[in-house]
Amino acid sequence: MTRLVRCTALAAVFAGCADPQQIVLSIDTTAGIPCEIDSLRIRGTAGKTVTIDRELADLRLPLALTLEDGTADGSFDLEVIGQKDGVDVLRAAGPLQFGTGGRLAANVVLDSTCTVDSPCSLPALQPYVAPAPPVAARAECTAVVDRYTAGPTTETFRDVCTVPGDRAGRVLTGGARGAAALPLPEGALDAFDFRFYGQPVRQIWAHEDGYISFSTNSPDPGNDLNPGAFDRELTGSGVPPPPQSVFAFWDALTLGETGVCYALEGTPGTQKLRVTWSGACHTTTCTTDRLNFTIVLDERTDRVALTYGEMTSTPPERAQGSTATSGIVDQADGCPVSQCELATGLCSDGVTPCGYNQVFSQMPQAGGVQGIEFAPVARSE
């Protein structure tokens, strides 16, 4: 089995550290620490598995480990995983092969493209010359945000399905289902300095069922997650909502001809991203229903607004939210809805963040669904 050791510190214990059949593994990341990932898991497999976990809070990167050959034929599989709160977020994986002489180097950098569903391949082995340098740029983690306040918004509904330009477009057209990543031009998302619950946005998914998600991977890969209250897991009544998501009108919807539209407007520093569901409906084929709403993300303030245009359906209660859910979610893990204050995002103890702000769930809204805005609150350390 491959042994993962620090030869500089453990040379007296592992006599094999002088063995030339070694791979010096260097691990770094462009992700923000600890806002995007807070720990590393290194797993080597050759017949049996050896796992090493490292917390990143006080760890200087790149992390260097020496892999010493204890395999039958010099080959093994390696996984390098970036985790957040114990959940796999980033991943690089593949086979490695020890050489017949001299030390080799494998310099692994986890970035936003190294997702759990589509892991990065390991880099080609090279002769070891010197320790790998740190990455040139790592995402900054700003103030810790674990809750939002909610209140009226000055944003009004705008349908961006007719906005021109290469930073605008449509997804989920032609009867497409499930979730789709917004295909913004290269560099556009990097220049959009919007943060959700304090975390930089690396990917934006739009789902046919009335929400967007900032998760690294698809928020609903099987397209089988039924809309419902955010606290279902907390109350033991169902599965949680997709994490890191904004729900304008989470319901079983059919999209109109335009699908879901998006437009990134303004210049860096003052940009707003608008995502519109135009002419969506509750029936298999849209006829008389008209459900129109837009999510607005403002990079100046990191505020999230939900805005609504014409909302009509048969029966009318469905357009008022009788089968829909609205709000924002980081991780719904603080307390049930009955103990969570919408306006503050705090549980009834006045201290614990709910992990979400639920506006309503499967409850018709008197006078129709109203626009609302969520403002981040930085934690006081």
pTM of this structure: 0.80
- In whole numbers, what is the pLDDT of the chain averaged over residues? 91
pLDDT for 17 equals 45
Nearest Cα residue to 296 out of 196, 188, 147: 196
* pLDDT value at 381 more than 80: no
* pLDDT value at 102 more than 60: yes
pLDDT for 361 equals 98
pLDDT for 98 equals 92
Quick: pLDDT tens for 31-63: 889 888 999 999 999 989 999 999 998 889 999
pLDDT for 136 equals 86
Nearest Cα residue to 201 out of 36, 6, 27: 36
Quick: pLDDT tens for 9-37: 322 223 344 445 899 999 999 988 988 89
* pLDDT value at 69 more than 70: yes
Quick: pLDDT tens for 189-230: 989 999 999 999 989 999 999 999 999 889 999 999 999 999
Residues 121 and 91 sit within 8 Å (Cβ to Cβ): no
Give CA–CA dist 38/271, Å, rounded. 29
Q: Where are the alpha helices (DSSP H) in the chain?
A: 7-10, 316-319
pLDDT for 146 equals 93
DSSP 154-190: S------TT--STTEEEES-TT--SEEE--PPTTTTT
CA-only gyration radius of the chain, Å: 24
Rounded to 5 degrees, φ, ψ at 43 are: -130, 120
pLDDT for 70 equals 84
pLDDT for 20 equals 55
Strand partners, 274: 263, 296
* Choice among 132-141, 197-206, 257-266, 371-380 with the minimum mean pLDDT: 132-141
Query: Average pLDDT for residues 260-281, to the nearest whole number?
Result: 97
Check residues 4 and 181 and name the one with the higher pLDDT: 181
pLDDT for 18 equals 46
* pLDDT value at 321 more than 70: yes
Query: Average pLDDT for residues 90-110, to the nearest whole number?
Result: 92
**Residue 13: how many other CB atoms lie within 10 Å:** 10
pLDDT for 7 equals 40
